[in-house]
Structure 1
Amino acid sequence: MERESMEFDVLIVGAGPAGLSTACRLAQLAQEKEQDLQICVIEKGSEVGAHILSGAVFEPTALNELFPDWKERGAPLNTPVTGDDIYMLSDGEKGKKLPNFMVPKTFHNDGNYIVSMGNVCRWLAEQAEAMGVEIFPGFAAAHVIYGDDGAVAGVITGDMGVSETGEPKDSYMPGMELRAKYTVFAEGCRGHLGKELIQKFDLDKDATAQHYAIGFKEIWDVPAEQHQPGLVVHTTGWPVNDNGTGGGYLYHAENGQVFVGLIIDLNYTNPHLNPFAEFQRYKTHPEILKYLKGGKRVSYGARAIAKGGFYSLPKMTMPGALLVGCNAGTLNFAKIKGNHTAMKSGMLAAESIAAALFANHAHTELTDYTERFKSSWVYDELYRSRNFGPVIHKWGMWLGGAYNTLDQNWFGGKLPFTIKDERADHEGMELADQAKSIDYPKPDGVITFDRNSSVYLSNTNHEEDQPCHLQLSDASIPIAVNLAKYDEPAQRYCPAGVYEVVSTDDGEKRFQINAQNCIHCKTCDIKDPSQNIRWVTPEGTGGPNYPNM
């Protein structure tokens, strides 16, 4: 097919904190050297920030390096953390506040800010554009371009105006070839092109399986007397302590709002577990309800989180390209934070790319990036937290938590042990008839809600007549295998009600995919026990449109 083609010095896929920090640092280096670099950022969301979802308590370490004058530039860091509470929750009882000596110091948030990362990314995009970076939202990177020598040479954006049956519609517009001397893949957690590159170049051969969680978030307008700007609340225990591991959060942000959410590790084994329903239950706990009662929910979203940490890091370089940020799994789960590490990984990538371009190199493998990364505070931070997730997976919240507190608070993350979790999150699912059933209460429409009304608040929209972006390797597996063995857990693990098992008129069971509901969380790509679902990009601009997440 004949496609239009554009060429750049650097192409960045994804306008999140990693991609935009890469672009900003590249532009800064070009200005310092008085060089002209053509830098392009493409973003599949309808605008920068539309697909960004993060808690978020933001650690400004990387931002301080990238823009030391960020306050004068008007960065939207308006709510410094003023309080830092951690509670152990049990069913129906008042939460027990944990004393500081029982809490890993990585959970402490002095000097951090409660932010909307969507708004931080919008601000970063403004800084990048002011330095000449071209940013194109609404363009989804669908395919990788490989050169004759096998090096990455760019991407092809998705075709627009293709019908569900694959036929061109009147609105058909073929995707463009975007070629570059270097391409940076900053797609976020479980990026579908990043996944392809990891497999093609065997980048994870020396790493353990990546591990994931699903993170939920709602924004609430709450009564003034219940609002304490800057208060950070983290919880452990109920509701997921019997069926998995995870934890909750409630952050008092600006403008009378609180951000409330629950993170559930995706290595859970009970197929009856419904992460969305667990989150709704979480809000009914007295320690959380006291802040939400009388308030109004104004936004909802969910997103997978790459939390494998140090041992799960793949090689990040290949000829012509780099993986950065959560596409490579740089999040530090010991802090429940990944924005600062994502930004720094992008800044390091910019320095490697700039050095190569200024030396007139193109499409080479930037092996010096590995050395830059190993010499950085990101590497040190991830190394010190290397056992944090594995001990929770292997020993549970109590014993694992005790080890982590000892390791972090008394030994600075340097206890001489190597503890790895080699099992992928989709493995180990119990058979449905042997697993404990879970009875979830019906939503009350006041504090707890159903999935359809929640997806409505995410402003999710897709062109209905397009090829399904949730692809099944074998269409028979959901009913013949997953339903028979596991009561098809996709009905429950999807936070947007995309997957249903419906009965036909003749009594047969059919697997239905409501792709229009998809909020691009990637949980299905991760958790399907048969690894039968592959998430690929829909038409550009499709998906959620988060205004303030």
Structure 2
Amino acid sequence: MSDRESMTYDVVIVGAGPAGLSAAIRLKQINPDLGVCVLEKGSEVGAHILSGAVIDPKALDELLPDWRDLDSPLTVPVTDNQHWVLTPTKKYPLPHFAMPPFMNNKGTYTVSLGNLCRWLAGQAENLGVEIFPGFAAAEILWNDDGSVKGVATGDMGVARDGEFKPDHMPGMELHAKYTFFAEGVRGHLSKELIALHGLAADSQPQVYGLGIKELWDIDPEKHVPGRVIHTQGWPLDDAVGGGFLYHQANNQVALGFVTGLGYKNPYISPFEEFQRWKQHPEIRAIIEGGRRVSYGARAINEGGYQAIPKLTFAGGALIGCSAGFVNVPRIKGTHTAMKSGMLAAEAAAEAIAAGREADELVAYGEALHASWIVKELKTVRNAEPALAKFGALAGTLYAGFDMWAHHIGITLPWTFKHHRDNEGMWRKDMVKPIDYPKPDGKISFDRLSSVFLSNTNHEEDQPVHLTLKDASVPVDVNLALYDAPEQRYCPAGVYEIVGQEVDEPRLQINAQNCVHCKTCDIKDPTQNIRWVVPEGGGGPNYPNM
């Protein structure tokens, strides 16, 4: 018997992101008497939320049709949409007529996704949803028949050696008729469920990009509210990806860079590619003289339609980026995540009203595959794998052809496949190290000063949440074959090889720096690194990201 206390709800939702909060609101809209609880591992709602973000309000219009009258943070409509192809010194704007119409940003808004989630949380609480920030879901609970019973939060006050500290508090069990997993990209419980139930057996592997973002205060004379710029091309060579720069409210710009994690060269550093990108004359001209105020990083689902796993299992469902509904060419996933949460909520409310508990919400999967989510993702399903297959230039041309064909009503009969991001990395003897320029402290910066701006904090004396399946692999495999790529793909300086000067190399894990981006869990060549949830409330604390 567990000595943990328990609470019982109709629905427990793991994660207070757009999907989880939309599900909670929809449940209460359908039946105000339903008991709904949302767990959030961040210190507050929005603390771990990071996105560009340009929001398509399509799902929000369905969820809260009067949102414009509810003091929402969506106040800056996109007024100017630009797409640049960069060379080392120049830009070449792509004309709008060359882009499929659904790629434009008409009717969208640029906003802090964290602030949108904070606002959604307020709407949910007004309806009676209970939200518990600072409590990380650490364990799945099971009924005797193998269905999901709920989740347990992690213990608080456990020392690094596993001993209980004086302030130790055992975790809480939250039981539910249905549990929704809305953890975001590469959620650790969602990953466990996908593996345990074989949910990805009939889908392509999920693939990812690493998005690194900064928020800058810039010269008001350079600020154009609602201007949205996307770039591709330079500086990437052996990888695919691109940059973004969004003029948001209060003379701020959100800018960032996404590097596809399928790259082969072990010497690529997504963080350093971002710093190089900012030095492009056209980007530098916008931010020069400004002040960097925040930094963060997060992995992004890029697998699209063919990587959607089976969404349901007895007692629960995957929603939002735990399943992966990002429209990569549009660089948008908030509206699809929200809609998935709404559809899951409708299926669960119907099941509970019919007296069913902990069965499989088949209706949710059916509704999602009949929805505009899948229609939208089918249209762009070949765009991302085309870039990986053909390279940036040919892949872009093919993707445009494919999407234009869909636009005029021609559905091409093939669907490209994905390859796992951790596979196929080149050995270090096949390539030369990349000589990245040193930061200037004005436009480009080092990782540790960047992590400082993310407000990342973990209780130092707690179990390390970045674990190794085999402690010998980092030196015997990763260092020997690939020159320890974890030192470069991590955007927070978590992984260091120390002791090489005395011929005693070992991997040092600076877990306190971790911004919860999940890149290590995705990109490690042997999948030896396992990300598990730290003590609740730890990690970044993004104020306006």
> Are the structure 2 counterparts of residues 72 and 315 from structure 1 closer, same or farther at C-alpha, using a change threshold of 3 Å?
same
* Residue from 356, 366, 376 that aligns with 1:361: 356
**1:103-502 residue pairs with structure 2 within 5 A?**
103-240=99-236, 242-412=237-407, 414-502=410-498
Is 1:101 the counterpart of 2:97? The answer is yes
1:53 paired with 2:50, answer yes
Of 34, 39, 46, the residue aligned with 1:42 is 39
Q: Which moved more, 1:181-190 or 1:373-382?
A: 373-382
CA shift at 1:330, angstroms?
Answer: 1.0
- Distance in 2 (CA, whole Å) between partners of 1:305 and 1:414 is 29
- Equivalent residue letter for 1:344: K
| Contact residue 188 and residue 325 of structure 1 kept, 8 A | yes
Cα deviations by residue, 1:462-496 (Å, 9 ceiling, x for unpaired): 00001100010000100011000000000000000
Determine the C-alpha separation between the residues in 1 that align with 2:539 and 2:382: 35
Structure 1 residue 415: deviation in Å?
3.3
8 A contact 2:466–2:532 mirrored in 1? yes
Counterpart of 1:80 in 2: which secondary structure? Answer: coil
Question: Any idea what the Cα deviations from partners look like across 1:429-471, whole Å, max 9, x if unmatched?
Answer: 0001111321100000000000000000000000000110001
Letter aligned with residue 194 of structure 1: S
2:27 is equivalent to residue 26 of structure 1: yes
Q: Distance in 2 between matches of 1:164 and 1:70?
A: 46
CA shift, 1:104, in A, is 4.0
The amino acid that maps onto 2:324 is: G
The CA deviation string for residues 261-306 of structure 1, in whole angstroms up to 9 with x for no partner, is 0000000000000110000010000111111010000000000001
Equivalent AA in structure 2 for residue 21 of structure 1: S
4+ residue runs over 4 A deviation? none
Q: 1:65 aligns with which of 40, 52, 62?
A: 62
8 Å contact 1:212–1:305 — kept in the other structure? yes
> Partner letter of residue 400 of structure 1?
G
Q: Give the TM-score, by structure 2 length.
A: 0.98
- Does the 8 Å contact 2:303/2:418 carry over to 1? no
Which is further off, 43-52 or 286-295?
Answer: 286-295
Q: Any idea what SS the aligned residue of 1:347 has?
A: helix
How far apart are residue 506 of structure 1 and its match? 4.4
- The answer to whether the 8 A contact 1:158-1:539 is kept is yes
- Rounded to whole Å, the distance in 1 between the matches of 2:157 and 2:282 is 49
Name the amino acid aligned to 1:542: G
- Structure 2 counterpart of 1:537: 533
For residues 74 and 456 of structure 1, what CA distance do their matches in structure 2 show? 32
TM-score, normalised to structure 1, is: 0.98
3-state DSSP class of the match of 2:31? helix
Letter paired with 2:71: G
In 1: Cα distance, 2:268 partner to 2:319 partner: 32
Structure 2 Cα separation of the partners of residues 257 and 62 of structure 1: 26
1:386 offset after TM fit, Å?
A: 1.2
Partner of 1:83: 80
Question: Structure 2: which amino acid aligns with 1:195?
Answer: K
Secondary structure of the structure 2 residue equivalent to 1:233: strand
Instruction: Give, in angstroms, the shift of residue 505 of structure 1.
Output: 7.8
Look up the SS of the partner of 1:471 in the other structure. strand
1:525 shift after superposition = 0.1
| Pair 1:13-2:52 in alignment | no
| SS of residue paired to 1:79 | coil
Letter in 2 for 1:184: F
Do 2:12 and 2:178's aligned partners in 1 also have CA atoms closer than 8 Å?
Answer: yes
Q: Do the aligned partners of residues 403 and 505 (structure 1) sit closer, same or farther apart at CA in structure 2, a change above 3 Å counting?
A: closer
Deviations, residues 297-335 of structure 1 (Å, cap 9, x unaligned): 000000000110000000000000000000001111121
CA distance in 2, matches of 1:395, 1:436: 23
Asked whether the equivalents of residues 14 and 42 of structure 1 are also in contact (C-alpha less than 8 Å), the reply is yes
Query: What is the Cα-based RMSD across aligned positions, in Å?
Result: 1.1
Secondary structure of 2:7's counterpart equals strand
Counterpart residue type for residue 116 of structure 1: S
- Structure 2: stretches of 5+ with no match in the other structure: none
8 Å contact 2:402–2:412 — kept in the other structure? Answer: no
Secondary structure of 2:82's aligned partner: strand
The answer (yes or no) to whether the contact 1:105–1:408 under 8 Å persists in 2 is no
Unmatched runs of 5 consecutive residues or more in structure 1: none
Distance 2:67 2:83 in 1: 30
Q: Deviations over 1:148-204 (max 9, x none)?
A: 100001001001111111111111111111110000000000000000000011000
Query: CA separation in 1, counterparts of 2:178 and 2:77?
Result: 37
The whole-number CA distance in structure 2 between the counterparts of 1:333 and 1:278 is 20
1:83 and 1:444 map into 2 onto residues whose CA distance is 31
